[in-house]
C-alpha cells in the first residue's frame, strides 16, 4: 500500500510500498485547497510501464475525498484512464461528509455499477477502508485471465461493501 | 536412417495448483499432456481463464491439451508422406483453425449442447475459455503453436535461450487471447521449423503463472539455461521427480497462480535403433 495526500499540491504521503498487514496510517490535517487532479497525475505516473510490469494483478485505487476538487480534475482523471493499468485498476471512492460531490467521485470510479461509498463519521470511514484493504484486495489477488475484449477492459468484480454505522453522533 | 532421425527426444512436465488458488480452494485451471511416439513427441499446456465468467475453464484447458495432442499426433502420422513445404503451408494456413474447431467441438460435446440450447455459443465457449500452447517435434520438423499468454522457450547447446514467439504487446494485466474468442484461430501463432543443422537441446512450454513469478524477463529466460544444466547433471527423470515441488515453491514465492511446465529434451546420449 502507498498513499498520496493532496491539498495545496499533491505529495506521496507514504511513498514506499508497505505490505497491507504492516501498514500504519500517518495522520493528516485538513487544510488548504483540493488538488485532486494533481493527485491523480501523481498516481498515473506510477501506473506507467515501467515502473508497472506488463503482466500482474490489477492495482486497487481508493479515492477518499469530499469530491470538490479545486484544480483541473479532468486532466488528472484523463491521465489516469488513458493508461492501460489506469483502466484496469479497481477504483473505489469514499465520499467524506454529507455534502460530498458524488458526481466527481463517480467519474473517478468510471463504472456505473459501482457507487461511491459514504462515510459521514469516523466509524464508517474505518469500515470502508478496512473493507477496501481486505475483501477487495483478496478478490483482486486471485490470479486469473480474461479473454481479450470480453470484459470491455474493465475491472474485476469486487465484493459487496459492508453496511456502515450511520449514527447521528459525530457527523461530518 | 540418417543422423538427424536418430535424435531421441524425451518429455517431462508437471502442473501445480497456485498458492492463491489453494487458499481459495479452487481447482487447478492449468493442464498439461504429452505423448512420446516412435519417431515424434508432442506436448501441450493450457491455462483455463479461471475468472467468474469461465467456471469450467479447468475442463476447457483439459480439453485443449487432449485435443491438441491427439490432433498433432494424427498430423504427424499423415505428415510422413508429405513434403516439408506442403506441411509448412498447412501448418501456417489451416492448422490454427483446425485446432480451434477441434476444441469447440469438444466443448460442445462436454457442455451437452443440443438443438434446444438457449445459451449462445459464445457464452458456452467463454465458460470453458482457455489458452493453448503446443509443440510437435519430429525428425524432419519442429512445429509450435500458441494461442494466448504463456511461453515457449528454446535452449541451444551453448545455453542460449530464445523466446520462440514474441510476447503479444497488446496484452497487459490479465488479458489474454483465447480459444473461446470469435475467430480465435486468427490469434494463433505458428512456427514451423524444418530440422536444420542446429537443433535446440531443450524446449520449454509454460503457462503464464510461471513467467509471472519472476521479477524480470532475463530472470525468467535464465530458467531455460538452469533446466538444461540440471538435466545434464542429474538427468531428465530426476528433474521430473522434483518439478512439482519446484513449481509449487515458485508459485508460492511468485505469482500465486497455477503453473504448468513441459520440457522436451534432446537426448544425445542415446539413439533409436
pLDDT of residue B2: 44
Task: Determine, for residues A147 and B26 on separate chains, whether the beta-carbon distance falls below 8 Å.
Answer: no
Per-residue pLDDT at A132 exceeds 90: no
In tens, the pLDDT along B225-262 reads 999 999 999 999 999 999 999 999 999 998 899 999 99
Cell of A61: 485505487
Q: Which of A85, A146, A148 sits opposite B51 (nearest CB)?
A: A146
pLDDT of residue B273: 41
Name the region of B118 (left: φ>0; alpha: ψ -120 to 50; beta: rest).
Answer: alpha
Sign, Cα dihedral of B198, B204, B210, B212: positive
Q: What whole-number distance in Å separates Cα of residue A66 and Cα of residue A61?
A: 16
Task: Determine, for residues B174 and A144 on separate chains, whether the beta-carbon distance falls below 8 Å.
Answer: yes
Contacts of A22 (CB under 8 A, 6+ apart): none
Task: Give the gap in angstroms from C-alpha B256 to the nearest C-alpha of chain A.
Answer: 7
Sheet of B151-155, strand order: B8-16, B259-267, B202-206, B151-155, B161-163
Q: What whole-number distance in Å separates Cα of residue B104 and Cα of residue B101?
A: 5
Task: Give the gap in angstroms from C-alpha B122 to the nearest C-alpha of chain A.
Answer: 10
Contact B188, B208 (CB under 8 A): no
For residue A66, the number of C-alpha atoms closer than 13 Å in the C-beta half-sphere is 15
Chain A interface includes B253 (CB < 8 A): no
Instruction: Tell me the CA end-to-end span of chain A in Å, nearest whole number.
Output: 26
Q: Which residue of B has its CA nearest to A149?
A: B175
pLDDT of residue B176: 94
Q: What whole-number distance in Å separates Cα of residue B90 and Cα of residue A53?
A: 37
Can you give the pTM of this predicted structure?
Answer: 0.84
B20, B19, B17, B44: which is closest to B28 by C-alpha?
B17
- Lowest mean per-residue pLDDT among A111-120, B123-132, B179-188: A111-120
Task: Determine, for residues A145 and B178 on separate chains, whether the beta-carbon distance falls below 8 Å.
Answer: yes
In tens, the pLDDT along A42-89 reads 999 999 999 998 888 889 999 999 999 999 999 999 999 999 999 989
Per-residue pLDDT at B3 exceeds 50: no
- Residue A93 has what DSSP assignment? E
Q: What percent of chain B has pLDDT over 70?
A: 96
Q: What is the DSSP string of B128-196?
A: T-B-EEEEEE-SSEEEEEEESS-EEEEE-TT--EEESS---TT--BTEE--TTSTTGGGG-EEEEEE--
Q: What whole-number distance in Å separates Cα of residue B74 and Cα of residue B233?
A: 35
Q: Which residue of A has its CA nearest to B23?
A: A142
Q: Which residues of A touch B18 (CB under 8 A)?
A: 143
In tens, the pLDDT along B163-173 reads 999 999 888 88
Q: Which residues of A touch B29 (CB under 8 A)?
A: 144
Q: Which residue has the higher pLDDT, B172 or B47?
A: B47
Q: Which residues of B touch A157 (CB under 8 A)?
A: 52
Q: Which residues of B touch A134 (CB under 8 A)?
A: none
Q: What whole-number distance in Å separates Cα of residue A1 and Cα of residue A45?
A: 16
In tens, the pLDDT along A88-128 reads 899 999 999 989 999 999 999 998 888 999 998 888 888 88
Q: Which of A141, A147, A156 sits opposite B180 (nearest CB)?
A: A147
Q: Which residues of A touch B258 (CB under 8 A)?
A: 143
ipTM for this prediction: 0.77
H helices present in chain A, as ranges: 36-46, 73-81, 84-88, 102-109, 122-131, 137-140
Amino acid at each position: 500500500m502507498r498513499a498520496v495526500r493532496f491539498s495545496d499540491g499533491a505529495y506521496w504521503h507514504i511513498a514506499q510500498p508497505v505490505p497491507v498487514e504492516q501498514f500504519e496510517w500517518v495522520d493528516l490535517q485538513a487544510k488548504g485547497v483540493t488538488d485532486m487532479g494533481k493527485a491523480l497525475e501523481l498516481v498515473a505516473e506510477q501506473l506507467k510501464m515501467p515502473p508497472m510490469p506488463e503482466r500482474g494483478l490489477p492495482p486497487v485505487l481508493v479515492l477518499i475525498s469530499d469530491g470538490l476538487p479545486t484544480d483541473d480534475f479532468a486532466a488528472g482523471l484523463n491521465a489516469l484512464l488513458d493508461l492501460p493499468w489506469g483502466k484496469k485498476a479497481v477504483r473505489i471512492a469514499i465520499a467524506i461528509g454529507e455534502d460530498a460531490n458524488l458526481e466527481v467521485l463517480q467519474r473517478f470510479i468510471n463504472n456505473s455499477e459501482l457507487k461511491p461509498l459514504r462515510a459521514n463519521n469516523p466509524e464508517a470511514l474505518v469500515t470502508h477502508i478496512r473493507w477496501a484493504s481486505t475483501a477487495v484486495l483478496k478478490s483482486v489477488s486471485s490470479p486469473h485471465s480474461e479473454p481479450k475484449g470480453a470484459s470491455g477492459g474493465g475491472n474485476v468484480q469486487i465484493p459487496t461493501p459492508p453496511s456502515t454505522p450511520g449514527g447521528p453522533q459525530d457527523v461530518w | 536412417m540418417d543422423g538427424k532421425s536418430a535424435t531421441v527426444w524425451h518429455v517431462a512436465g508437471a502442473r501445480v495448483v497456485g498458492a492463491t488458488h489453494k487458499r481459495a480452494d479452487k481447482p487447478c485451471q492449468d493442464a498439461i499432456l504429452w505423448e512420446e511416439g516412435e519417431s515424434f513427441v508432442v506436448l501441450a499446456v493450457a491455462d483455463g481463464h479461471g475468472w467468474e465468467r469461465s467456471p469450467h475453464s479447468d475442463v476447457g484447458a483439459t480439453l485443449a491439451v487432449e485435443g491438441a495432442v491427439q490432433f498433432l499426433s494424427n498430423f504427424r502420422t499423415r505428415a510422413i508422406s508429405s513434403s516439408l513445404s506442403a506441411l509448412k503451408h498447412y501448418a501456417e494456413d489451416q492448422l490454427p483453425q483446425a485446432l480451434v474447431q477441434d476444441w469447440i467441438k469438444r466443448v460442445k460435446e462436454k457442455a451437452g449442447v443440443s438443438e434446444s440450447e438457449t445459451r449462445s455459443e459464445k457464452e458456452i465457449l467463454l465458460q470453458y475459455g482457455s489458452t493453448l500452447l503446443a509443440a510437435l517435434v519430429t525428425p524432419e520438423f519442429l512445429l509450435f503453436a500458441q494461442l494466448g499468454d504463456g511461453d515457449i522457450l528454446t535452449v541451444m547447446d551453448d545455453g542460449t535461450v530464445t523466446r520462440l514467439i514474441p510476447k503479444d504487446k497488446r496484452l497487459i494485466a490479465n488479458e489474454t487471447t483465447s480459444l473461446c474468442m470469435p475467430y480465435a484461430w486468427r490469434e494463433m501463432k505458428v512456427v514451423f521449423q524444418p530440422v536444420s543443422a542446429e537443433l535446440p537441446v531443450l524446449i520449454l512450454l509454460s503457462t503464464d503463472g510461471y513467467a509471472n513469478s519472476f521479477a524480470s524477463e532475463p530472470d525468467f529466460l535464465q530458467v531455460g539455461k538452469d533446466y538444461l544444466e540440471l538435466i545434464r547433471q542429474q538427468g531428465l527423470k530426476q528433474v521430473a521427480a522434483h518439478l512439482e515441488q519446484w513449481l509449487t515453491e515458485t508459485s508460492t514465492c511468485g505469482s500465486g497462480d497455477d503453473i504448468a511446465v513441459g520440457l522436451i529434451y534432446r537426448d544425445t546420449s542415446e539413439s533409436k535403433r
